[in-house]
Copies of this chain bind each other. A is one copy, B any other.
Amino acid sequence: MKQSQLFAKTRKEAPSDEVAKNAQLLIRAGFIHKEMAGVYSYLPLGLRVFNNIANIIREEMNTIGGQEVQLTALQEKALWEKTDRWDDEKVDNWFKTKLKNDTELGLGFTHEEPLTNIMRDHVRSHKDLPMLAYQIQTKFRNELRSKSGLMRGREFSMKDLYSFARTEEEHEALYAKARGAYVRIFERVGLSDITKIAFASGGVFSKYSEEFQTISDAGEDVIYVDEKKNIAVNQEVYTDDVLKDLGLDKGELVEYKSIETGNIFSLGTKFSEPLNLTFKDESEKDVPVIMGSYGIGVGRLMGALVEVLSDEKGIVWPEEVAPFAIHLIQIGNDDKVHAHATEMYETLTARGVEVLFDERDIRPGAKFADSDLFGIPMRAVISEKTMAEGKIETTNRKTGKTTMINEAEFLKAQHV
């Protein structure tokens, strides 16, 4: 796409009330727009990144046999009363609203209840299980405070996967599959090095849950990591009993602030019993389904990437999630340079390479500043100077390394 036609403009300052680095940079770069605290609209470049992350997650969910669905925000009181999660005393972050006839409705902050309820129509016999279903859908959470940018939204998009199993063993197998998919997602978005799987509080049905915690000073969580054993523990279960249970020694643990970028839960029959989701086993007996739930906030992951990978000049996107692969910049407004850069843009685009082409008639410094802010992995510059040498100047956004390379060689290396 040509940068002169781009919807959003960069700006020097983020809104003065925005304290989170991820939101400051993403707003300055024109990737998102702040509607109110914890509520952000996605502009074209931001939506491209969002969709790239969502598609990585979607692919990994499909790979383990997850079937995609799309549930609704509007929720009925009667359903959530069955699990005792309607009352604002029990769940303190509901947004509630009303139909014209005064019927109270809620805006879903999660979807265990409605999906379990739907499954009742579709699970009859033991042959209908196991099942994995997921969605990438908007959640609403009425947070008292929300100042972490994309990392704590009042309205945000989440991938939530739910597993439905016949036995505890089958559940463990599904849980292991989902856990493996999460590990691959964090690898693909470039966060595996600094993301730890931490034991966290479980519930009635399991001793612990597991959280994917990405180490960052911007995080709201604290974890303790045994680097040698590669085990981490969330502060909320950092007790002598738990450490003993996990075979950990306080002296070996290092404390980090971290962002909870994913979590996986064994739910047992916590939802299937009150909502009466059962299947007939081989002896025709009704048995409650054993469930698990597995969440990743898509926007939160995007925010975390900005928090941990950006530098003083701007954002640094990993290749797999970047809005474009190449930021092609024309320097000077000479007709020959413009014609040549345009030809390069068209050649790359025709090959399916995603290119943002800065053909604007503005000074080079402003172009480079925008380019650093955007964080596209490779910058490629065409100017009178590069043309004289038959070369193109590429710069790696992450390392800052600049290379002059023959155009033919450069083109040879660019394919999808």
Contact = CB atoms under 8 A, between A and B. Distances in A.
Contacts of A98: 95-96
**SS class of chain A's interface: helix, strand, loop or mixed?**
mixed
Interface of A: 4-9, 11, 30, 33, 35-36, 39-44, 47, 50, 65, 67-76, 95-100, 105, 107, 114, 118, 121-122, 124, 127-128, 131, 133, 138, 140, 142-144, 154-155
A238 B78 CA distance: 45
Contacts of A118: 33, 41, 43
**Stoichiometry, copies per complex:** 2
B97 A41 contact: no
B70 A42 contact: yes
A95 B72 CA distance: 15
Contacts of A131: 7
Contact of A7 (B97, B122, B124, B140): B122
A31 to B, nearest CB: 11
Contacts of A71: 35, 41
A133 B42 CA distance: 12
B155 A72 contact: yes
Contacts of A105: 36, 95
A74 B121 contact: no
B97 A70 contact: no
Contacts of A33: 118, 121
Contact of A154 (B35, B74, B122, B138): B74
A132 to B, nearest CB: 9
Interface core residue of A42, A72, A133 (most chain B CB under 10 Å) = A72
B142 A39 contact: no
Contacts of A7: 67, 69, 122, 131, 133
A11 B131 CA distance: 19
